[in-house]
Amino acid sequence: MTDTTLGLLLATGALLFFTAGTLVTQAASRRLDLSLGFLVATFVNVLFAGLVLCVQWLLRAQGTVWNATAFAMFALAGFFATDLGRWFFYESVVRFGPAKASVFQVSSPLFTALIAWLLLGEALSPVVAAGMLLTVAGLVLVSVKPGAARAAKAAAASSGADNAPRPSHRTRLLQSVLFLGLCSSLAYAAGNVLRGMGIRRWNEPVLGALVGAVCGLLLHLLFSSGKRLLWQRLCAANPTGIAFFAVMGVTTISAQMCTIAAMRYIPLSVATLITLCTPLLVFPLSHWLGQNKDPITARTLLGCGLTLGGIFVIVLR
């Protein structure tokens, strides 16, 4: 088996794990508070990655050579992807459904190109600029629902909610699918760039995923509220919800390990593109499972097509 074939297989495995995690997220959020579920999933990330690493070290003939620079990159990737990116993504899945949230994930290569331009000085060609426009156009088509504002206003009038305080423009922006989705994509892109740089300096994908997960868990514990009541909340929580988030923890850390490993054998942009094509699977599966009640319209399909087309133009330039 060639390195390219191995990399493509690892990236495809990551795609399947990411798809499973996306579908589980919405079902889990109905049974357990999102902040508590995020903690459960991140804790399982650490446990499962630690277990895989122990098995790897038992089967390995030689030890690990320390690389402090790569270690720092993996830890920083954990901050961006495991903490920021996943929080924004979970919020978008819960608020707007797994299908629309997954579409935003495929825009990460767009932000990867932007980060490379800003940090590494890589110029953006006209072809890349055209791909960016296609991606943005697709995201707008998917996220903006025609007549949604008029329908919401009519529903509020009929229910007598006109007298209720209305959220400010800033609040509506911060809670919009466009803001949450783009922030998630940007954070994941930064994490992917750091992971790609780390794995090429230090061939330790499992350890790299574990370092990022530990960093994300520590940050969540540090900044989350109600830490003293955490054990009581877990004891009183829905066991099925905890189990769902635990499964999500296994799928997400497995996807991260596969993605990091794939970046060792194939170009970073190609690995990112394959692993983020979750809408191709999430759209039909979410309808089949009854998670997505919105119809798949021609507008949605056109938006997905433009988004994926723009990503292909950027990555395969």
> Domain map of the chain by residue range?
3-59+66-144+171-315
Q: Are 43 and 217 in contact (CB under 8 A)?
A: yes
Report how far Cα 183 is from the mean position of its chain's Cα atoms.
10
* Alpha-carbon gap, residue 217 to 231, rounded angstroms: 16
The model's pTM is 0.73
Task: List C-alpha distances in Å: 172 to 26, 34, 95, 116, 257.
Answer: 22, 20, 13, 31, 36
Count other Cβ atoms within 10 Å, centred on residue 226. Answer: 10
Q: Are 65 and 199 in contact (CB under 8 A)?
A: no
* Alpha-carbon gap, residue 20 to 7, rounded angstroms: 20
- Using 50, 70 and 90 to split pLDDT, how confident is the model at 72? very high
Q: Is the pLDDT of residue 100 over 70?
A: no
Task: List C-alpha distances in Å: 56 to 78, 207, 217.
Answer: 21, 10, 22
Burial pattern 257-295, b for ≥16 Cβ within 10 A else e, equals bbbbbbbbbbebbbbbbbbbbbbebbbebbeeeebbeee
Task: List C-alpha distances in Å: 287 to 7, 27, 98, 291, 293.
Answer: 30, 13, 10, 6, 7
Q: What contacts 306, CB < 8 A, 6 or more positions away? A: 134, 135, 137, 138, 141
Q: Which amino acid appears at position 147 of this protein?
A: G
Burial pattern 162-176, b for ≥16 Cβ within 10 A else e, equals eeeeeeeeeeeeeeb
Most confident range (mean pLDDT) of 77-81, 154-158, 285-289 is 77-81
3-state helix, strand, coil in the chain (%, to 5): 80, 0, 20
pLDDT digit string, tens, across residues 164-217: 455 554 455 555 666 777 888 888 888 888 888 889 889 999 999 999 889 888
* Alpha-carbon gap, residue 38 to 220, rounded angstroms: 9
Most confident range (mean pLDDT) of 89-98, 218-227, 233-242, 245-254 is 245-254
pLDDT digit string, tens, across residues 14-48: 989 988 888 887 777 778 877 788 888 889 999 99
Q: Is the pLDDT of residue 315 over 70?
A: no
Record the tokens describing residue 190, joined without a space.
């930064």
Locate tokens 């800003």: which residue? 118
